[in-house]
Structure formats: structure tokens, C-alpha cells
Amino acid sequence: MRELDGRLLRLLRRRGHGDPRLVAAVARGSRAGEHAACWFALGGLGIAASPSGYSRRRAFTRGVAATAVAYGLNQAVKFTVRRPRPQLADLPPLTPVVTQLSFPSAHATTSFAAATAYSRALPAAAPALYGAAALLALSRPYLGVHYPSDVLAGAALGTLTGRLLRCR
């Protein structure tokens, strides 16, 4: 499994990096996902734009809570597992990181938790929410800071957390 993970990472790091503007755009977009900032901002906007007591406001509030819980769970797993980030001598990382721990991806965890929870508030936007979550998650191996399995585990943890906390 480790060998397959490494091969997939190398494949993702070698494809689609010819245009420096694309790499810079992916890095900027990925930074928006640091500490789930873009997802908390979306939740805050949703809460502020929804009438008081309205079910959509409650759904956004639960989405913010689900994102925060997912982030906390991610950190607990990350500091328990302590998997180091990828080190590819010929393909260095293309963005800075907060810690040197890799598993699971916090970007994937919080993005899928938020997409799952916010899709209750905005059902018609669910495809766009999941699309944004997938792009943020995939940006991490593209930039060389996560293995693909880190992203898959994060997406699973986030989806589960979002489903459990978006109820009612």
C-alpha cells in the first residue's frame, strides 16, 4: 500500500505543473483551506444572511460546528498517528505547511465535513460544495504535501463527521 501511495503521489506531482500560473493558483486556493478558513467564512456568511430562527441559519450553524469538530478530530488523529509528510528529493513541496504531520489531510477532512453539512443548508449547491471540497483536497498531493491516502482518509473522516453533526 505504501508503495502505491508513493507512486500515486509522484504521478500527481509530475502531471499538470507546466504552467507556473496554474501552480500558483492552486497554491493560493489551497491556502484558503488552511485551518478551514474558507469554510468558516462560508458558514459565517450563511448565518449572517439567514433570518433569525430560520432552519437554514440553524443548518449553517451546525455546519460551522461540524467543520470545527472535524478539524479537532483531524488534529487528534494526526498527532496520534504522526505520519511524516512526503519527502520527494526531486519534487519538493510547492507550498508551506503548518506541521510536518501528514495523516489525515486537514484540508480534506474539513472540506468534506463542511460540504456535507452545508449541503443541508443549500441542497441545490451540494454539487458545487463537494466540487470545491474535492479541489481543495486534491490540491494537497498536487502541491506535494500529502499522500493520496491522507486525502482519502481525510475525506472519509470529514464526510462521516459532517453526516453525524448535520442531523436535526
Q: Which residues contact 154 (CB under 8 A, 6 or more apart)?
A: 74, 104, 105, 106, 107, 108, 109, 112, 137
The domain containing residue 78 runs over which residues? 2-165
Q: How confident is the model at residue 167 (pLDDT cuts 50, 70, 90)?
A: low
Q: What is the pLDDT of residue 72?
A: 97
CA distance 30 to 45: 20
Query: Around Cβ 82, how many Cβ atoms within 10 Å?
Result: 12
Q: What is the tens place of the pLDDT at every residue in 8-59?
A: 888 888 888 888 999 999 999 999 999 999 999 999 999 999 887 678 888 8
> How is 19-78 classified by DSSP, letter by letter?
-HHHHHHHHHHHHHTGGGHHHHHHHHHHHHHSPTT-HHHHHHHHHHHHHHHHHHHHHHHH
Which CATH number fits the domain that encloses residue 82? 1.10.606.20
How many domains does the structure of the chain reveal? 1
With cell 503521489, the residue in question is 9
